[in-house]
Structure 1
């Protein structure tokens, strides 16, 4: 039995509904205009258009499609075999095409979208394309579906920018039945805790590159998603809690019979939801509502998910005509308990989380506390009741069963009656430096308030050089600026995590303030990130000088530079030469994106400026 809705949840949701009313109504009107009631999407196409659609297909598929009666499913795939998480998708199209024929439908790959690996580009020039690759993926998704021959769509993607991009692109075709199809995490290798220790040892010069590479290869070792709880696995959690995955499907390992059965079942749901097989129509636009997006916010907070989604979720919501902001995150974080500890917020990985009860246990607990909207549509129908179940193979046949009543490991997953903390661990910081977010779920209480002098740099490499030269052996707040979307595409500054953690372990008061991003696996050092306005937009961070005393207070939500207001305002701002960020590694092609990107709190997208 679900509890009455939490009053804060209800209030925030109503505020979002009211704030979004005009934009949402425009979006829904657009989706209604694109729908072809009672007909396939191919109805009325010219013969030449239809011939092009089916030219390369087997004769039997051509007959079915030309008859314009059976559903035709478009597959958007982010397959490549550079990303371990996406390598399993290589054989999905044939599996899905074959199963579509078996159930009387047809399927085609509508298009491929790029998928870059942030783990490869961290600290390198390619990382400056990473954030905007999300918008490229949205555009590519729209190109694939723009042929307007599909009644349903399957989205094949997992990692950091890929799922948000697929989501944003698919929502422009929200009149279609759409299901997201995960590929699952790799099996557990070297523990994330052990991996992090070797990284810190390497940063201190205690071990060499050979030991570091051996450690990393033992952690990232096979097909599937990386097992820590960063943006990729936060994506999977979001798609399930928002009802766009099949129940319990997010964290089933690739290459298993259960994974294959779930992929076939995803196709079956996409076909059924077209309404052309006698079942109710369920459009993507009807699933992704204000309530659904609030459920996503709650899931992010309850699991200590990726800080990248304080940008991505805003852009994803905007694609559905819904406006959310950091006040919504912060207000919900105050009432949503932290129920999961998965690295970097704990020692376990996502396989342990899944084995302990996973998404089914988590969602059932949140529903029982009135912390999820249960009255939403999902790809499996009305309400979230089905998401308290887990899939299994019953003598080779896919079936669902109730998840256990208790957590299998309370060091990883807990009930709402015994949370790891009473809040979700995401805080909004405000003050004379602007607005930013900080994730404190992995930050020890004694490190959540830092008052220290600023060390100002314009590039993460400069801070690393200071660390390697032994010039950061002191209390400090590292101010890394000109890292916003307009300056250089807002790369993650993940390489700063090990050296700052080393300084913290030595007993120094340490924090980071930046208009850039940290990794989705932000860790134990307090980091005020996504600071807005960014330095290139004449944000106050551009006026900070070395030695300025800064207070970063995660408890009170304060980020202040302790300089007299008149003196601070009178400081001249001279932006550095950033032309080196505009050339090489394809960055020339992204000038339009940088110039037109909106602020992080608006989604940092050039598409919805």
Structure 2
């Protein structure tokens, strides 16, 4: 099947726009590999330090410098349910390497915080910046020049993007990502949400709420809804960086350890020491980035990736914009309904056909690139399902038809003709909305603004009976420069409760919303943010706001004369508790805007004055049809 013309056009625009940066990036990683494996250039003292703690077998192999050495970057901790299984992965990998005449070492650990624990807490202000800290920790771990390939053990929200950015900084090394899989089903996510809303209404006790939460988050593995963590896994497979079909195999299944061993074996097979060298910096090009976004749209994945994958692309010398994401979303149909876009969890999604079904549909429709991956066979290999045969890994074709059309459908019978996200434009700036989880009747609202700088103020206004019947909650000074751009998922129960009562409500913010959020129309990641002098700071209580998700519009219905005359309102939110916040003051000062990846580190080839050398490809207020039409790159 030939590539869809819009997918071809947007890929070519990204390629042309990125040419200078991409060339500089590839030149850098090729130079790093020009003289062969780095370990051969270590001094005797360097090398002796590196293998001092190894056993005799590993030490002998490292001394001889004739075999591959795998670096393991581990995001293990036993507070994150998704990362707890990683405790035993290094030994599995080390033993596999020894069995194949190679070696493996834990190169380093990276921090891994849980957004589920920090939701609504001061610690959430460190969450987004943890991604960049993880990237830096990854680079530190790989800085010893000891490794011929790397295995990345990570699953959750900021951890995978951070690992990817760090891996791309060492783009001359092959990279294989190794997940841990989702926990088995608990109580249905819809039931959990209902208890949360009853608690917000004062109709459920804290004991009832805790029981529901504990029944949902009940075991090792990722949370079972389709939030940022599980979206990470789908995007990694869409770029060909994990073993095919590994995303949604539960931690306690025998197949899980077999896939981990297979990942280590494949990493050894693609080093520069052999004849099938596949460095990550060459695998991740503009086609891989487009594949990731196409998969995100087809499955209705997390809004967080509109920030993270801009940063990931930048780490590979590729300039991805929100306009590109919007065009892809208008081209790729929605093929999956997984909570919060539907009732199913990711286990049911996998049983219905999962990534294998979705990828085959996208490839057959020309909506995804077939490209080189960490395994032979390109993206078609990711349309096959892993199986155990006599204790060994085997692959079988994915199912030809959906096993549950309430969860997964073919392109010919998609849930919606467009993908899960839309870019909104207007006099308030640019923002994104997750349409896949919002029913059609709620995708348009025109209502007065309730303006707060502290998200907790909304609950207080509700308790006092001061919220209008219909309103748009405007929560500003929540962007990356202001306070690190925390997720505002704690607002979901209240706003969901009010919508259930027949009231029309929406959220507009320069902050983020959890990848698990849906149901309520929410214009998020608004940029420029209020702390940068964005027009969000001009809004006043009672201003009429129009949010039209279908037509990509977000605007304050205020006359241009009055709007231009208004002063920016100061931030009135109370001072945040510190809890380590002072350590990230520099990050807040230098962070790029949300549509440029919210980066607090220099990533990829240099950028200047805190911004990249490109303009938005489309002007504010352009129609969706114009945005989807071919444009000539301004800097090509």
Partner of 1:397 in structure 2? 392
Partner of 2:423: helix, strand, or coil? strand
Equivalent residue pairs, number: 603
Partner of 1:329 in structure 2? 325
1:407 partnered with 2:402: yes
Partner of 1:53 in structure 2? 50
* C-alpha displacement of 1:417: 1.0
8 Å CA contact 1:286–1:377 kept in 2: the answer is: no
Partner of 1:84: helix, strand, or coil? coil
Q: Determine the C-alpha separation between the residues in 2 that align with 1:575 and 1:364.
A: 51
Q: Determine the C-alpha separation between the residues in 2 that align with 1:98 and 1:467.
A: 58
Q: Determine the C-alpha separation between the residues in 2 that align with 1:425 and 1:181.
A: 26
1:119 partnered with 2:113: no
Partner of 1:458 in structure 2? 453
* C-alpha displacement of 1:471: 2.0
Q: Determine the C-alpha separation between the residues in 2 that align with 1:415 and 1:322.
A: 31
Partner of 1:584 in structure 2? 578
8 Å CA contact 2:187–2:216 kept in 1: the answer is: yes
Partner of 1:221 in structure 2? 218
Cα deviation code 1:441-472 (max 9, x no counterpart): 11111111100000000011011211222222
1:572 partnered with 2:567: yes
Partner of 1:575: helix, strand, or coil? coil
1:601 partnered with 2:595: yes
8 Å CA contact 1:306–1:521 kept in 2: the answer is: yes
* C-alpha displacement of 1:579: 7.5
Partner of 1:16: helix, strand, or coil? helix
Partner of 1:163 in structure 2? 160
After TM superposition, the structure 1 = structure 2 runs for residues 166-177 of structure 1, keeping only pairs within 5 Å, are 166-177=163-174
1:438 partnered with 2:433: yes
8 Å CA contact 1:447–1:525 kept in 2: the answer is: yes
* C-alpha displacement of 1:574: 4.0
8 Å CA contact 1:337–1:423 kept in 2: the answer is: yes
Partner of 2:175: helix, strand, or coil? strand
* C-alpha displacement of 1:522: 2.1
1:372 partnered with 2:346: no
Partner of 1:384: helix, strand, or coil? helix
Q: Determine the C-alpha separation between the residues in 1 that align with 2:467 and 2:102.
A: 63
1:420 partnered with 2:418: no
Q: Determine the C-alpha separation between the residues in 1 that align with 2:232 and 2:159.
A: 9
Partner of 2:520: helix, strand, or coil? coil
Partner of 1:20 in structure 2? 18
Q: Determine the C-alpha separation between the residues in 2 that align with 1:140 and 1:162.
A: 11
Partner of 2:233: helix, strand, or coil? helix
**Which stretch of structure 1 is more off in the superposition, 8-17 or 566-575?**
566-575
* C-alpha displacement of 1:399: 0.6
8 Å CA contact 2:148–2:272 kept in 1: the answer is: no
Cα deviation code 1:118-146 (max 9, x no counterpart): 00000000000000000000000000001
Partner of 2:555 in structure 1? 560
Partner of 1:507 in structure 2? 502
8 Å CA contact 2:363–2:369 kept in 1: the answer is: yes
1:178 partnered with 2:172: no
Cα deviation code 1:242-280 (max 9, x no counterpart): 10001101110002210000000000110000042x441
Q: Determine the C-alpha separation between the residues in 2 that align with 1:388 and 1:559.
A: 39
For residue 292 of structure 2, the aligned residue among 267, 289, 296 is 296
Cα deviation code 1:348-376 (max 9, x no counterpart): 000001111111111111000000011x1
Partner of 1:6 in structure 2? 4
Cα deviation code 1:456-508 (max 9, x no counterpart): 00011011211222222511000000000000000000011111111111111
**Which stretch of structure 1 is more off in the superposition, 382-391 or 98-107?**
382-391
- Can you give the 5+ residue segments of structure 1 that lack an aligned partner in the other structure? none
8 Å CA contact 1:115–1:162 kept in 2: the answer is: yes
Partner of 1:287 in structure 2? 283
Cα deviation code 1:310-346 (max 9, x no counterpart): 1001001000000111111111111101000000000
8 Å CA contact 2:535–2:568 kept in 1: the answer is: no
Cα deviation code 1:48-72 (max 9, x no counterpart): 0000000000011011011111000
Q: Determine the C-alpha separation between the residues in 2 that align with 1:464 and 1:139.
A: 38
Partner of 2:349 in structure 1? 353
- Can you give the 5+ residue segments of structure 2 that lack an aligned partner in the other structure? 603-609, 611-636
8 Å CA contact 2:75–2:110 kept in 1: the answer is: yes
8 Å CA contact 1:240–1:247 kept in 2: the answer is: yes
* C-alpha displacement of 1:576: 2.3
Q: Determine the C-alpha separation between the residues in 1 that align with 2:572 and 2:408.
A: 48
TM-score by length of 2: 0.94
Partner of 2:376 in structure 1? 381
1:95 partnered with 2:95: no
Runs of 4+ residues over 6 Å off in structure 1 = none
Q: Determine the C-alpha separation between the residues in 2 that align with 1:178 and 1:312.
A: 19
**Which stretch of structure 1 is more off in the superposition, 495-504 or 259-268?**
495-504
* C-alpha displacement of 1:36: 4.1
TM-score by length of 1: 0.98
